[in-house]
Amino acid sequence: MRNDFDSLDDSERLVAQVRRAIANHTPLRIRGGDSKRFLGRAINGEELDTRSHRGIVAYDPTDLVITARAGTPLAELNSALDAAGQMLPCEPPTFGRAATLGGAIASGLSGPRRPWAGSVRDFVLGCRVITGNGDHLRFGGQVMKNVAGYDFSRLLAGSFGCLGVITEVSLKVLPKPRQQRSFALDIGDVDALRELSRWRKASLPITGACYTDGHLHVRLEGGSGSVQSAAERIGGTEIDCAFWDMLREYRLAFFDDPRPLWRLSLPNATPLMTLPGTVLLDWAGAQRWLKSEASEAAIRRIAQSAGGHATCFAPSPGGASIQPLPASLLRYHRQLKHRLDPNNVLNPGRLYAEL
Phi, psi at residue 284, to the nearest 5°? 60, 30
Q: Are strands 65-69 and 237-239 parallel, antiparallel or unpaired?
A: unpaired
- Fill in the amino acid letter for 220: L
Checking if the pLDDT of 318 tops 60, the result is: no
pLDDT band at 321 (very low <50, low <70, confident <90, very high): confident
Q: Answer whether 254's CB lies under 8 Å from 280's CB.
A: yes
Checking if the pLDDT of 24 tops 70, the result is: yes
Predicted local confidence at residue 314, as pLDDT: 74
pLDDT (tens digit, 9 = 90+) per residue, 28-85? Answer: 999 999 999 989 998 999 999 999 999 999 999 999 999 999 999 999 999 999 999 9
Cα–Cα dist 252/189, whole Å: 18
- Rounded to whole angstroms, the maximal C-alpha distance in the chain is 65
The mean pLDDT of 8-28, rounded to a whole number, is 98
pLDDT (tens digit, 9 = 90+) per residue, 223-273? Answer: 999 999 999 999 999 999 999 999 999 999 999 999 999 999 999 989 999
The whole-model pTM stands at 0.92
Annotated domain spans of the chain: 11-175, 179-312
CATH number, domain 11-175: 3.30.465.10
pLDDT (tens digit, 9 = 90+) per residue, 260-308? Answer: 999 999 999 899 999 999 999 999 999 999 999 999 999 999 999 999 9
pLDDT band at 150 (very low <50, low <70, confident <90, very high): very low
